[in-house]
Each structure stands twice: as structure tokens, then as C-alpha cells.
Structure 1
Amino acid sequence: MHSIVLGDLIKYAIMTVACFSIAIIAYIQLQDKQLLVPEGWFNPFFGWRLGLDWSRLIPEVNSKIASDGYSLFGLFFMMMAFKGVFASLAGPAPNYDMQKILSTRSPEEASKMSGFVSIILLPIRYSLIIGLTVLGLLYYRQMNLTDAAGTIDFERILPVAINKFLPTGLVGLVLTGLLGAFMGTFSGTVNAAQAYIVNDIYLKYLNPGATTRQIISLNYVVGILVVAVGVLLGFFAKDVNSVLQFIVSALYGGYIAANVLKWHWWRFNATGFFWGMLAGIVTAMLFGFFIPAGNLLYFFPLLFAISLAGSVAGSYASPPTDAVVLNKFYRTVRPWGFWGPVHAQVVAEDPSFQANTNFRLNMFNVVLGIIAQLCLTILPMYLILMQQLPLLITVGILAVIVFILKKTWWDRLSAY
């Protein structure tokens, strides 16, 4: 465990240097130049449509916005908010994030770790993003981003910026940082896939008495197959955006319902989880083949409904989870939601048991946390773009939120 933490710390340090290096170079390059952007580009607020007209500057951007599905940005934002609420209710994603949560020693440490993730990662990540954006806007004509078909390939901005604007030693550091960030997620996802297939399928249903050597060998085989399938699917991907849209729209819609119910409904069981996940993911795969990537997010509610229906039907098709397991989970986690029958059993056994009554306070903290995350996202953008007044307002809002959360969240963690 110490080696994993140390490895992550080293990768984060390298990634931080890489992101800040590009951000600083972009800041310096912007000192004596002016960004040629359409009216409203500096405004973080938006209407029903995105409303940015690039026709006089970079006409290809208009078609790129339309093809990626961002023209009706108000609807896009509503779907993102809808997805975000249910993704948050589902708890940590059942891969790398869940592994980190489960490795903490207490609920207090898990809460602190989750909170610090945003503080540590968001400013670093968006320093890189705004740095690349500035360099792309300043030098897109000199970057030679045109592909063989004569259209601008916007995904080449990152490699071109690294080659053109970073000194030789720093190029290696940036590539190391990007590879480190990739490997951190990649290794966690592969490990999760191995655990699901070997522990939840092979050992439970196919060969419960498998030897240690058989388990280790199968882990190797599963790891190789998962990576091979991932690489093979990568050859069929149109671009990074299409893959990202499929993951955050289709796959999220397919798995979120089952993962929400496991925390908030007492009748939910393993059979419901299986059928909910199967219905959602199979539908997501079909949607991915027949619906353009830029439009997948708009089908998120339908995917969610299909997965929810599979979860509910599967749960009622099999007996409820054993009462001893439910009571222990409810005592330990004290979740919100529809736990009436279990709560009654627990109180009957232990009249001193108190249910979780912190819903309103927690929701208040969540709202403040969302605003703080938005501020952490836009903070490096205002800094590099030298927007002094918006920067001061953002810092002021962050300071107020930190002060309030210190009283309403941080100081109360030990009580949980």
C-alpha cells in the first residue's frame, strides 16, 4: 500500500510540473498578444445555445461544436447536471475511485480524501487545459493542424504544443507526467476488471475451490484479454471526444441506476444489480453503435430508465438480501433513502439506535462544494488570461465557502 501511495505521489508531482509548465509558457506568450475569440468567449455564463460565432476567426470551430453536440449548450448542461446528480448518488465509481475509498481507515479519512481530490486535481488539470487552449488560439495557423482531408484536426493541439513550445528536457517530463496520469487510471481499471471476473464470476460460480496458482494464472489471462480488447476497440474509435462522450453518456447511464439503488433502497439485491447493469450496459453498447457520439448525452435519461427498470425487476424476481446482512449494513453506513423496514428491525433490536438525520446539512454542504469545485476549475483560467476582477471574485467566493465548510463539514467529520 505504501508503494502505491508513493508511486501516485511521484506521478502527481511530475504531472504538476508538466501542467504548470505549459500554463506558464501560455501565460508568457499571451503577455504581448491578444486572443482572437468571438464575443462572449470570456463570459462563463451561457444561454440555451452556446452563442459563439467563430465564422470570421476559425470557421472550422463552428462545425466542430455542432458535430460534438455542444450547440444546444443549455440542454447539454441540463443533461450533464442530471447525470452528475445520479453519478454522485451512486458513490465512488467502482474502479480506481472505489479502491482508494476502501483503502482509507475510517469514514472521516474517506471524506477528507474525497474532498482533497478536487482541491488537488482541478487547478492542476485546468491549468494544462487553459494553457493548451491559449497556445492553440495564438498559434493555430502555425501549428499546421490540417489533416490529409484538408480539415483542422483539433486533437493535434496537445502534441504540437509539446513539440513546438517546450524545451527538450521539459518535453520528456511532460510526456512522463501524461503517461503517469494514464497509468494511474489504467492500472486501477485493469485491476478492477480482474477482480470482478475472477472473484465475482470464476470463484463464485465456476470454480469455488480453485488453488492459488489457478487464481493467479487466471488473473494474468484476464488482464491480458481486457487490455487486448481495449486496444482493439481503440482502433475503431473516431476520436477522443467520441470515446469520452460514450463513456460519460452511454456507459454512465447504463450503470448509475444500479449503483444508486445499492445505497438507497433496502429491497435491492445482487440479482437486481446484475440485471440492472446488464440491461443498462447492453443498451448503452447498442446506442453507441447507432447514435452519433455527440448526441448520446441526450439519451441519458432513457438509458437510466432502462437500467432502473432492469434493477427493480431483477430485485423483485429474487428473495431480498438476508436480514442480518441488511441490518449490519444499515447500522454501519446509516444511509439515507428507503430503509424503513430495516430501520424498524434495527430499532427493535437496539432502541438507542439513531438514524442519519443530517440530510439537510449534507445537502447544504454539497451545494457549497459544487460551487467551490466550479471556482477551482475557473481559477487557473482567470489567472492565465489575466482577468483580474473575475479572479478576485472567484478567490473571494472560495474563501467564504472554505470558512463555512470548516464549520459545517470539516469540524463535524469526527462525529460520523
Structure 2
Amino acid sequence: MNELHWIDGAILIVYLLVTVGIGFWISKRASKNLRSYFLGGNQIPWYMLGLSNASGMFDISGTIWLVYLLMVYGVHSVWIPWLWPVFNQIFLMVYLSVWLRRSGVVTGAQWIRFRFGDSQGAKLAHMIVVVFALVSVVGFLAYGFVGVGKFAAEFLPQIVEHPTDFESIADPAALNDALADKAWNEKAWGLIITALTTLYVVKGGMYSVVFTEVLQYSIMTVASLWIGWIAICRVSPEMLAASVPEGWDRLWFGWRLDSDWSGLLEGANAKIASDGYELFAIFFALMVFKGILGSMAGPAPNYDMQRILSARTPKEAAYMSGFVSLVLFVPRYVLIAGVAVLALALMSGELNAQGAGVDYDNVLAMVIDRYAPVGLFGLLVAALLAAFMSTYAATVNAAPAYVVNDIYKRYINPDASDKTYVRMSYAVSIAVVLIGTLLGLSLTGVNQIVNWIVSALFGGYTVANVMKWHWWRFNSYGYFWGMLGGMAPALYFAWHYQGESVLYGLEKNLALFPVLLAASLLGCVAGSLLTEADDREVLKNFYRRVRPWGFWGPIHEEVLAEHPGLVPNRNFPRDAFNVLVGVAWQTSLVAIGIYLVLQDYTAVGWATGVAVVSMLVLKFNWYDKLEDYPADLGPAELASIGEGEETTAGLVTDSGPQPEGAV
């Protein structure tokens, strides 16, 4: 690795000082009360929330993973992030962000009270969401810790000196010592960067998260376009074609993957076999099935949900979710494609020397060290540290919202001062960081935690959170047993399979994701039908305010009897069509970023055409038809909703800015 030039070092130091300084500068504004600390007082503009959310999704661990996918699977890899699923942002944009924001609550667990009330079953449902939120937050913190440690150790000064040319070490004992020192450096840098990030987010809350992430997004975009330009200048289409198998640059796929890396990058064939994605059509079908269900469930109780709840109005929540895709995918995939192209065309010999044990987690850092000039090197390092810090900061901000607002304030000390609650939030943030760091210290690679998060943990979350929107008879006990039925096997699989994918590929191609769905579905249905329905007044209030489509017939009739002007939500066909158009739009943005770097301008033209047509359709069929609240809610009812912290059975106990149209 090259020595860090003083210009690059200065860029890094200035970036870190400004980032931490922002947290302290706005800490007074953030510490007024819990709504200010966790949601920015619902005063942050939607476009800033969108840039912040995009920055949070531009994470370093995910970028490392996506570079690996593009290198090994080629442009087919555009589809693999549907595992998350990446198109959940489209479902949010089209209708779910509006539905969620209409609640006016602070956290996902508090939303459970809005949906199910305050019965014993609702308390169980409330607690299971808190547990899920904390488990997922810890998982994401560990995920970020592993990625940033691996990245930083490649180019920042070594804390413990070790050789960089491991192939030249003949003595096995010396090799083990050198590898141990390298791993120690990764963990040490992970600890240092984690501590800095925790410092500014704990002080500044959501204000700090958003303002620093807007800065971080700007840095990341400039650096991404710069590295993409370097790849375009240094690697011609002919050079790339000679370094990859036939069909690597095709977006579409057949029954099988059929990518043969023999004679090019031998380790890639072994990686494809171990991933279990060779029968790509089956894998794709499972991804789509899981992705649609996962997207219909709505956002998990983490930073994505907190951004939606932070929006000023329901329509602005939808704008924010759509804006994320618009500003995220082109620059991010220019960076990913730039790194992958430079590595494949110019470093294939070095990668082949590692044999089947190629460490793809290090490719990003290797390319930056080798091909980024002075100035860009520091900017890229700052950008990727920013990517880590933005994701990590947003995740840290989500955790105390559940512990302080949903446990401490509700059950332990409901009459404490705002300062007490904010100080408790500081303590909880530090505690979850420590737990996530300890988990990260036990992990060896990014893929290990990614597989568990996307296929096991969220597999256990899916069914109960789809049903909560669409079936009136689905009650709080059904939610509790459905969540528990999904989470328990998910945690077992995480332990038993040590982070392998449970979506597809385990034990003779056995897919365990359907097992999670079946266990959760059984808990949902049995728990609901074997217990009493939830309080009718709570259900009527939820239905009248949120107005979801689905199986709400009996509740609709009761509300209609009380409010003859009630208009049901008949927008399912329109929403479904807009989701399809939105997914095509989002995918075209990804393709534009990749094909720009590949210099396939015909493909860029087609992708741009799809993007433009999709945006025109969405303008007339989505944007123009959004509404904050159902049109039949009168001014007095809108005014009574407010933006309160406690919203059960329509009662608001904390006033705030009123929704658009209120009088």
C-alpha cells in the first residue's frame, strides 16, 4: 500500500472534524425533547431526508458486497440486491410511506399501539417489535463494523505492522502471525471509526444524522463519478471483454447462470458454486417472491422507518422515498462498476495468484490504493468512511427510540423530564454500539452477516407485517405469535448455519426461507382466530385515518354507518401498476450507472428511455394523485390528528405542527 499523502490526510482530518463538529453544533436543537431528538421535530424538508436516506444506503459494507457481485456475476448482479429487497423503496414511494406517516407516531413499536390498541395482546405485540428492532439494529451495527474495519485497514496506517505480500511468506507459523496482525488492524480501525461516529450521532440525534449525511452524500457522489471516469479512461470495452466470460455484460439471464471463468478468474467459479446461484432462474423467482412480501410488510423498525416518520406530512414521506432511488443508484453504481472494471481488467493476475481464496472484501480498497491519484484518494477514503458513518449513525439513532420511548418512558418513568429521556438515549446508543461491536468482532466477513439479515431475520418479520395492513381480523396476539414464530427459527438458523444463506442453496438446495414463512403464518392465523378480535374503536380509528386497501369489510361498514361520506380505498390496481413501473424505473437507474462505465452507450440509451417513460407515467399516475389524508376527513378531524407522540383511539396528548390542510 502507498503512504498516505499529506493532502489526502488533510482531507480526511477536515472531513472527520466537520462531521463531529456538526453533531455538537446542533446538539442543543436536537435535545429539546424526544420528537426533536428522534424525528427532528418533523421539521426537516423531504429532500434533505431523501438525501440523508440515500447516504445511509450508500454504505461501505454493501458497496464491498456489490463490487463482489458485479465482478463475479456480471450485469446479472443487478437483480441480486432484490434479496434485501432493494425495490422496497418503490412500495414505500407508491403507498406505504403515506400510510405509515398518517399515524403521527415516533417509532415502529408505538405504531403497534396505533394499530392494535393497549390490550394485553397489544403489549405483547409492542414488546416483540422492540425486541426485533433491537436485534436488527445490533445486526446492522455488526455488519457496518466488519465492512469499515476491512476497508480502513487496507489504506490507513497500520497499528500493528504486518507484511502486505502474504504469498511471499513460506513459513506457515509466520503466515498465521501476519494474518492475525492484519485481522487485529481491521478490528482496531473498526473500533476507532465506530467511536467517532457514535460521538456525533449521540450528541445530535436525527438533526445530526440528516445534516451530516447530506454532506456525506455530496462527497460520495463526487468521488464516485471520479472513480468511474478513471475506469472509463483506463479500460476500453475491448480490454474488459478480454477479461470476463461471454455474456458477463448482459442484463438478462436464462435458466442457468452459465458464467465460466476458467482461464480468466479461476476462483470465481468456486465462489458461484458456493453461493448456490447457478440455477439463477429459481433463485430469481425466490427473490421476487420474498421481495414482494418483504416490501408489502413495510419498512423494518430501523433508520428507514425513522426517516418516514420524520417527514413533515404523508405526501412528503412519499416524495422522500421516491427521491432516494433518484439520487442513489446512478452515482453508487458508477463507483461499483468503476472499481469492478479496474479490478477485472488491470488486476486479474494479482487476483488469480490468490487462487480460490480470493478475498473480494478487499478489492475495493486495493483498487482505490492502486488507481486513485492524490486528492481523489483522500476524497474516496473520506467518501467511503462517510458511507459507513451515515449508515451506522442512522442505525444508532433508531435504537434508543425503541428503548427510551417504548420501554423506559412507557413502563418505567413516564413522568421524567425531556432532558432525562435524551440522556437515557445517549446511554442506550452507547450500549447498542458496544453490543454490535462485540458481535462484529466475532465475524469474519461481510457476506456472513448479510445472508443472515436479508434471508433469515427479515424472513421472520415478513408475514405478520404484511397482514397488519390488510386484514381487519389480524389481531395483536396473531402479531405476537407470528413474529415469534418467524424470529425464533431465524435466530436458530443464524446460529446453526453460521451466517450461510437460508434463502436458497443450503443442504442439497433446500430453501429454508419458506419454513420461516410457514412458521410465521401459522402463528399469525392461529393467534388471531383463537383469541378475541381487537378493540373495535381502535380498528375503526386506524382504518379511518390510514385507509388501507385489503380485507376491511366489517370495519368499513361500521365506520360508514358513523360517517356516511366515508370513501373506501379502491386504489389497489393503480398502486400495483405504479409499483411495476417504479421497479422498472429503479432498475433502469442501476443499469445506467453500470453501462456508463462499461461504455455501452446503446444500453445507456435504452435504460435512459425506460427511466424517462417510467417517470412520465409516475408523474400522472402517482405524483398527481397523492393525498396527505383521505379526502372525507373534515378540517376538525385533521386538526385533531396533529402530530402527537401518543395516538391511541384517536386521542392526541402532545401537540405539534398540523398536517397540510388542517385549520
The CA deviation string for residues 137-173 of structure 1, in whole angstroms up to 9 with x for no partner, is 01224656866x9721111100101111112322222
Aligned ranges 1:332-347 → 2 under 5 Å:
332-347=545-560
Distance (whole Å) between structure 1 residues aligned to residue 352 and residue 435 of structure 2: 30
Amino acid at match of 2:288: A
State the Cα deviation string for residues 188-246 of structure 1 (Å, max 9, x = none).
Answer: 22222222223323343455455656644543333222112211222332321121111
Q: How far apart, CA to CA, are the structure 1 residues paired with 2:402 and 2:247?
A: 47
1:106 pairs with 2:313: yes
5+ long unaligned stretches in structure 2: 1-39, 45-206, 505-511, 630-663
Q: For each residue in 1:272-317, what CA deviation from the matched residue of structure 2 results, as whole angstroms up to 9, or x when unmatched? A: 3333223322211111222364541132222122222223334445
1:89/1:190 CA distance change after superposition, 3 Å: same
CA deviations 1:57-84 (Å, max 9, x no partner) are 1110011111122222212211211121
Distance (Å, rounded) in 1 between the aligned partners of 2:377 and 2:526: 54
Alignment map for 1:16-415 (pairs within 5 Å): 16-31=221-236, 34-35=239-240, 36-141=243-348, 143=350, 151-208=357-414, 215-291=421-497, 293-298=499-504, 299-316=512-529, 318-414=531-627
State how far apart, in whole Å, the 2-side matches of 1:42 and 1:283 are: 38
Q: Are 1:69 and 1:294, in contact at CA under 8 Å, matched by a contact in 2?
A: no
Task: Judge conservation of contact 2:267–2:352 (CA < 8 Å) in 1.
Answer: no
In structure 2, distance between residues paired with 1:166 and 1:337: 53
Letter in 2 for 1:133: A
Range moving further from structure 2, 80-89 or 176-185: 176-185
Q: Distance in 2 between matches of 1:269 and 1:195?
A: 24
- How many angstroms apart in 1 are the aligned matches of 2:406 and 2:365? 40
For 2:466 and 2:477, the matched residues in 1 are separated by 15
Check the 8 A contact 1:15/1:181 in 2, yes or no.
yes
Give the counterpart of 1:13 among 207, 218, 221.
Answer: 218
Mapped to 1, the partners of 2:446 and 2:587 lie a distance apart of 24
What do residues 381-411 of structure 1 show as CA deviations (whole Å, max 9, x unaligned)?
1111111222211122222222222221122
SS in 2 for 1:26: helix
Q: Residue 369 of structure 2 contacts residue 377 of structure 2 at CA under 8 Å; is this kept in 1?
A: yes
- Relative contact order, CA 8 A, sep 6+: which one is greater? 2
- State the TM-score, normalizing by the size of structure 1: 0.92
Evaluate the alpha carbon distance shift between residue 69 and residue 229 of structure 1 in structure 2; reply closer, same or farther with a 3 A threshold: farther
AA of the residue aligned to 2:575: N
Q: After superposition, give the CA deviation of every residue in 1:106-153 in whole Å (9 maximum; x if it has no partner).
A: 222122111111111111221111111101101224656866x97211
Instruction: Tell me: CA distance 1:43–1:141, structure 2 relative to 1, closer, same or farther (3 Å).
Output: closer
CA RMSD of aligned residues (A): 2.3
Partner of 2:185: none
Contact between 1:280 and 1:307, CA under 8 Å: does it hold in 2?
yes
Q: CA deviation at 1:324?
A: 2.2
Range with bigger deviation, 149-158 or 105-114: 149-158
Task: For residue 184 of structure 1, report the CA deviation from its aligned partner.
Answer: 2.1
Instruction: State how far apart, in whole Å, the 1-side matches of 2:604 and 2:216 are.
Output: 29
> Could you say what secondary structure the match of 1:296 adopts?
coil
The question of whether the paired residues in 2 share the 8 Å contact of 1:275 and 1:311 is answered with: yes
Q: How many residues align?
A: 415
| Residue type at the aligned position of 2:443 | A
Alpha-carbon distance change, 144 to 382 in structure 1, aligned in 2, over 3 angstroms: closer
Indicate how the Cα distance of structure 1 residues 108 and 32 shifts in structure 2: closer, same or farther if over 3 A, else same: closer
Counterpart amino acid of 2:485? A
Once the two structures are TM-superposed, the CA of residue 33 in structure 1 deviates from its matched residue by 5.3
- Show CA shifts across 1:329-365 (max 9, x none): 1111110112112111110101110101111111111
Deviates more, 1:183-192 or 1:385-394: 183-192
Aligned partners of 1:360 and 1:141: how far apart in 2? Answer: 49
* Counterpart-to-counterpart distance in 1, 2:530 and 2:409: 24
Q: Structure 1 residues 294-303 or 89-98, which shifts more?
A: 294-303
Task: Rate the CA distance shift 1:145–1:251 in 2: closer, same or farther, 3 A.
Answer: farther
CA gap of 1:60–1:412, structure 2 versus 1, over 3 A, is: same
In structure 2, C-alpha distance between the alignment counterparts of 1:377 and 1:346, rounded to whole Å = 44
Q: Which amino acid aligns with 2:304?
A: D
Look up the equivalent residue of 2:595 and give its one-letter code.
Y
Compared CA separation, residues 215 and 113, structure 1 to 2 (3 A)? closer
The separation in 2 between residues aligned to 1:242 and 1:276, in whole angstroms, is: 26
Distance 1:412 1:212, change over 3 A: closer
TM (normalized to structure 2)?
0.59
Letter in 2 for 1:137: L
Give the deviation of 1:98 after TM superposition.
Answer: 1.0
Q: Which moved more, 1:308-317 or 1:400-409?
A: 308-317
Deviates more, 1:195-204 or 1:211-220: 211-220
Counterpart residue identity of residue 337, structure 2: I
C-alpha distance in structure 2 between counterparts of 1:300 and 1:64, whole Å: 22
2:626 partner SS: helix
Mapped contact 1:145–1:153 kept (Cα < 8 A): no
Deviation digits for residues 83-103 of structure 1 (CA, Å, limit 9, x no counterpart)? 210121112232111111112
Q: Cα distance 1:162–1:142, how it changes in 2: closer, same or farther (>3 A)? A: farther
Contact 2:219 2:383 in 1 (8 A): yes
